Structure 1
Amino acid sequence: MTDAATSPVSPDLTAAAAALDVGQAVIDSAVGKLAELGIDDNQVLAYDVAHAAAALMCGRGLLDYGSKGDDEGRITAAFIADALADLGAKVFGREAEWGVEPSAMDGARDFVSTYRASGFLASLADTDGPRHLGDDFEMVQDAFRRFAEDKIMPIAEEIHRHNGDIPEEIISGLAEMGAF
């Protein structure tokens, strides 16, 4: 076995899409169960399905980002593996409630094993994925970063430790930047 922290695994976006399909089949089955049983009497299932479905849709949306380069692909694969692992945890022991067999997630197991491995995730720790923003959005990002560093960071700990109110200077500053 190789150390993924020193020799990163290449992203496989085809496998990522196939693994997402496995997860989507589980979601679709649970949606069918909810349609049959009613959402009002199955709020916990509805909540779990909604969160898992949102994560899988984010993963599907990331596939385009992942195709832009190796770092982007590795970040995408890690996100999708985590979303699928979370779905698997939600389903485990509740397969009948979700309307699936215990083996429903097996088709995603190898993908999750590869891209959720500790070494693989550790290899991403110092990776700032390229944002692929245009010049205008890079300037906006820089402006918000400077504001956060100059105005928010110096007082953030104090506010959090004492459950304090956010000062008007912060709120009005963000409003001037168009955040509200």
Structure 2
Amino acid sequence: MTAEQHLQWVSDHLNQGLIWLKKQCVNDGRLSNARLDEHQQATYDLALSTSEIRCAQAYLETARSTSDLNETMAETFAASMIQSTLNRLLLSPQDVGLTRAALAAPVALEAFLDANLRAEHLAKIGADLITVNGETRGRGLPEAQQMIADTFHQFADDVVAPLAESIHREDQIIPDAILEGLKQLGCFGLSVPEQYGGLLPDDREDTLGMIVVTEELSRVSLGGAGSLITRPEILSRALIEGGTPAQKADWLPGIAAGETLCAVAITEPDYGSDVASSKLKATLTEDGWLLDGAKTWSTFAGKANVLLTLARTNPDPTLGHKGLSLFLV
């Protein structure tokens, strides 16, 4: 059996679990938030597992048309995601409407997992990557995106790599050499529509360029370069989705040009991924909005000109995310 067939076997079981979960969480034909909360762990397990398996399927589909090393890594990733999913679901299969017997891996799947997850196999992949200096390339990208990847790959090697260690070890603010280079390459406009001076087509969604650039920069340094592009991306998308025409015209051109540097203030001392519980309070006054509270772990805040800040505009905590608003500070 192929890796694709093994992934499909797992995917079929996940679909059974999702069908079961839907039945538990629907009330009078509508999804019940209360029932969803009752099955929160099952929802999390199925969502994470489904994401992992679909990522593995997409990786395999792309890798098949590239190189032997890419194929080997894709199959190993598939094995890792299958094992991760089985480990997760077997802890309490009844909570997702399955049984241990149903999740017992067939002999062929056991052999696939053993072959791809043994230490000797993983060590060989590592050695092969060292031999090619990590240059697996051939990701099946369209020509335009491959040119973008090549450009930022070179920039990462020439500009970011020599500075990366000192940025991390000395906790430095991002050097101007990196910022200026990224500005010249149009990095900050990848998520800004063309009508506002960015590179994003006005008539369609296109995230592949941003993903490729983030990947190439993160290859050398996530903190020193890779995470920079996600900040304007988050802020730009928030503006495009919920901003007024005046706000878009005022902010987006500067973001696209790299003149307005962005950071995001979401995390609080007591709340991180639980965004709906955020407590920083926003109160409307005669002079505008007053923000009262604390944020932490705001990447790039030391260099940014504007903070996209999440605050609670309705003090009723039972409203959760419905009582929250975004501010440009």
TM-score w.r.t. the length of structure 1 is 0.75
Alignment correspondent of 1:115: 116
Structure 1 residues 165 and 16, CA gap change in structure 2 (3 angstroms): same
1:46 to 27, 43, 47: 43
**Is the 1:22–1:105 contact (alpha carbons within 8 Å) kept by the matching residues of 2?**
no
Distance between the aligned counterparts of 1:72 and 1:105, measured in 2? Answer: 29
Alignment correspondent of 2:13: 26
Stretches of structure 1 lacking an aligned partner (at least 5 in a row): 1-13
Shift of 1:118: 1.8
121-130 vs 14-23, greater mean Cα deviation = 121-130
Shift of 1:43: 3.0
Stretches of structure 2 lacking an aligned partner (at least 5 in a row): 26-34, 130-134, 189-329
Q: Which amino acid aligns with 2:11?
A: Q
Shift of 1:146: 2.4
Query: Of Structure 1 and Structure 2, which has the larger fraction of its residues in helix?
Result: 1
Identity %: 23
Shift of 1:99: 1.8
Structure 1 residues 142 and 73, CA gap change in structure 2 (3 angstroms): closer
Alignment correspondent of 1:92: 90
1:145 to 125, 149, 153: 153
Structure 1 residues 119 and 164, CA gap change in structure 2 (3 angstroms): same
Structure 1 residues 47 and 163, CA gap change in structure 2 (3 angstroms): farther
- Alignment deviations for residues 82-120 of structure 1 (CA, whole Å, 9 cap, x no partner): 110111221132211122211314133222122222222
Which structure exhibits the higher relative contact order, with contacts defined as CA atoms closer than 8 Å and separated by 6 or more residues? Answer: 1
TM-score w.r.t. the length of structure 2 is 0.45
77-86 vs 61-70, greater mean Cα deviation = 61-70
**Is the 1:30–1:98 contact (alpha carbons within 8 Å) kept by the matching residues of 2?**
yes
Structure 1 residues 175 and 96, CA gap change in structure 2 (3 angstroms): farther
Shift of 1:22: 1.9
134-143 vs 14-23, greater mean Cα deviation = 134-143
Alignment correspondent of 1:6: none
Q: Which amino acid aligns with 2:181?
A: G
Alignment of 1:102 onto 2:100 = yes
Shift of 1:161: 3.1
Query: Of Structure 1 and Structure 2, which has the larger fraction of its residues in strand?
Result: 2
Structure 1 residues 90 and 172, CA gap change in structure 2 (3 angstroms): farther
Shift of 1:53: 1.1
Shift of 1:19: 0.9
- RMSD over aligned CA atoms reads 2.6
Task: Find the structure with the greater CA-based Rg.
Answer: 2
Distance between the aligned counterparts of 2:170 and 2:20, measured in 1? Answer: 45
Structure 1 residues 70 and 148, CA gap change in structure 2 (3 angstroms): closer
